[in-house]
Amino acid sequence: MAGTALQLGLNSQLPPFSLLSNQHRSSPLTTTSSSLSVKLFTSKRLHNHKPKAVLSTEKRTEGREEGRDGEKYDAIVIGSGIGGLVAATQLAAKGARVLVLEKYVIPGGSSGYYVRDGFKFDVGSSVMFGFSDKGNLNLITQALAAVGHKMEVIPDPSTVHFHLPKQLSVRVHREYDDFISELISKFPHEKQGILQFYGDCWKIFNSLNAMELKSLEEPLYLFGQFFKKPLECLTLAYYLPQNAGAIARKYIKDPELLSFIDAECFIVSTVNALQTPMINASMVLCDRHFGGINYPVGGVGGIAEALANGLVNMGSEIQYKANVTSIILENRKAVGVRLSNGKEFFARKVISNATRWDTFGKLLKAEELPEEEKNFQKSYVKAPS
């Protein structure tokens, strides 16, 4: 299950990464995704980072570097998954000239498609958040609007129908009241606990939805948001270090209901509630009712196609069958990429939409990794399938 809300931080897929050569810092390596992400600097501490435009509109025409093939790019994006396409189109919308390099023949990554006998099939994502026309968490709608596009969607009457042990059957209806009524009917003795747990989820969601979501990790951005939305920021700060399981256990005692909360969180993060950040859980558990699950007419692949076409219409480029095999560094700064055919492209910024493992394990040599990434690899423990 994925979608912009999920892919921007809440699903099990590994996040795309950015290698940003920076004039003021030493070789920053940034992971970005429509969800969980990590920013690494060779001389800075590890912290999270959301994808955002790296060029201000004031500087968008300054300092462009000419590629050795005569092309000039502000940024190169490796891979045309949704994260890479959103990064590219957001930059292009602000005047940057961007080159996206995709090794496959169509855009989209796990949001791509294939065709059989005249029918189009999604290869991955099919449960889509972020198509709402209201609030600030309609991230797909916003991404498409940046390229002047809007997709027709079909509302899904339910997100998921749980079939759990002991014959427990719970349907997550699109309408919140219908879902809560059904859940309480299964656990009438836990009515108060159910209302309190999901009530906390709504407190968090409403705080997130009240702000323009550009970053939850950049100090200067958060400082500015605090003065605009102090109560919402304080609410998020309170819940930021907490997990959904611990909060559920404050209100709920029935082990079967707690197992249901685990199942709810597993869809969000592929781990149980005790390992799922409360903010992540709240975003999905509420947006499925606020904005709802919507399926785009023509298939999920249409999202990537619209973004790719919009990118080209704004004067940037996307090349297919362009397999990036290495990132070129100069003085420990990412300055370009090399393709499998030997061709090289150069730009001021390099953004990798590949997985963490491909970015740091294949596109960079072991001796080129920042210390933070080396330390991460030493401590990392693989999750079960």
Q: What is the pLDDT of residue 344?
A: 95
Cβ(15)–Cβ(356) below 8 Å: yes
β-bridge partners, 330: 333
Q: What is the pLDDT of residue 157?
A: 94
Q: What is the pLDDT of residue 101?
A: 98
Determine if residue 161 is left, alpha or beta; phi over 0 gives left, psi from -120 to 50 gives alpha, anything else beta: beta
Per-residue pLDDT of 288-343, as tens digits, reads: 999 999 999 999 999 999 999 999 999 999 999 999 999 999 988 999 999 999 99
**10 Å Cβ neighbour count for 341?**
9
Q: What is the pLDDT of residue 62?
A: 41
Q: What is the pLDDT of residue 93?
A: 95
Q: What is the pLDDT of residue 211?
A: 85
Per-residue pLDDT of 78-87, as tens digits, reads: 999 999 999 9
133's CB contacts (< 8 A; 6+ apart) are: 141
Q: What is the pLDDT of residue 148?
A: 93
Q: How many CA atoms lie within 13 A of 170 on its CB side?
A: 22
Nearest to residue 260, comparing CAs of 158, 357, 349, 161?
Answer: 161
E strand or H helix at 313? helix 301-313
pLDDT tens digits for the chain (385 residues)?
A: 433 322 222 233 333 444 433 333 333 333 333 322 222 222 222 233 333 333 332 333 344 444 455 558 999 999 999 999 999 999 999 999 999 999 999 999 989 999 999 999 999 878 888 898 888 889 899 999 999 999 999 999 999 999 999 999 999 999 999 999 999 999 999 999 999 999 999 999 999 999 886 766 677 887 788 888 889 989 988 999 999 999 999 999 999 999 999 999 998 888 999 999 999 999 999 999 999 999 999 999 999 999 999 999 999 999 999 999 999 999 889 999 999 999 999 999 999 999 988 999 899 988 888 888 888 888 888 776 6
Nearest to residue 278, comparing CAs of 199, 180, 195, 201?
Answer: 201
E strand or H helix at 75? strand 75-78
pTM: 0.75
E strand or H helix at 295? strand 294-296
Q: What is the pLDDT of residue 51?
A: 35
